[in-house]
Amino acid sequence: MNLALIAAVAPLIFLAELPDKTALASLVLGTRYRASWVFSGVAAAFAVHVLLAVAVGAVLSLLPHRILEAVVGAVFLLGAVLLLRGRHDETVDQERERHGFWRVSTMSFLVIIVAEFGDLTQIVTANLAAKYQDPISVGVGSVIGLWAVAGLAILGGQGLLRVVPMKWIIRAAALVMAVLAVVSVASAIRG
């Protein structure tokens, strides 16, 4: 396991996930239900999400190096554009009733797994797994980043939004993606 890679992946995924609809869904679910119940469902969904992404990344790593770097660069650039162009004011329906652990956990899992399928962070995770050919380190870093966002959102995401405007969070994530796109394209050109 590569600790440096984990330390690089976690903040990238964290920044990419912060402005996402799943962070808002986690926040809303956390305001309505017991935080630990919501987190258990959200954490399980993100673990499945990352497993799928690193599996796709392993397949992508079979491509020739130059083609892989070009694909990775294009997807990172696409991710930066999607972050800058996306809408981040979505709301989530709120249920007022209290439910048991299994119902809240299952509902949280389903909300996140459906919302994250094919999402930007899943694509980024797949690309990183392909680029570095270290699915375990990328997977651990991705899970840490996703779980950190979920925990932050569930326990007090609105506090962060009072300190750091959403537009700056989005811009920071887009800038990181754009830099990764340039590095990958440069690597593809150099061969």
pLDDT in tens, 51-60: 988 887 777 6
Q: Which amino acid is at 39?
A: F
Residue 135 domain-assigned? yes
Residue 155 domain-assigned? yes
Cα–Cα nearest to 149, from 1, 49, 4: 49
Structurally, the chain folds into a number of domains equal to 1
Residue 173 domain-assigned? yes
Whether residue 89 is predicted with pLDDT greater than 60 in this model: the reply is no
Residue 99 domain-assigned? no
Residue 96 domain-assigned? no
Enclosing H/E stretch for 31: helix 21-32
Residue 108 domain-assigned? yes
Q: Which residue has the tokens 């499945």?
A: 48
pLDDT in tens, 126-147: 888 888 888 899 999 999 999 9
The whole domain housing 63 covers 3-89+104-190
pLDDT band at 110 (very low <50, low <70, confident <90, very high): confident
Residue 95 domain-assigned? no
Q: What is the DSSP string of 122-182?
A: HHHHHHHHHHHS-HHHHHHHHHHHHHHHHHHHHHHHHHHHHHS-HHHHHHHHHHHHHHHHH
pLDDT in tens, 58-87: 776 666 767 767 776 776 677 677 667 765
pLDDT in tens, 151-182: 988 876 545 556 777 677 667 767 776 887 78
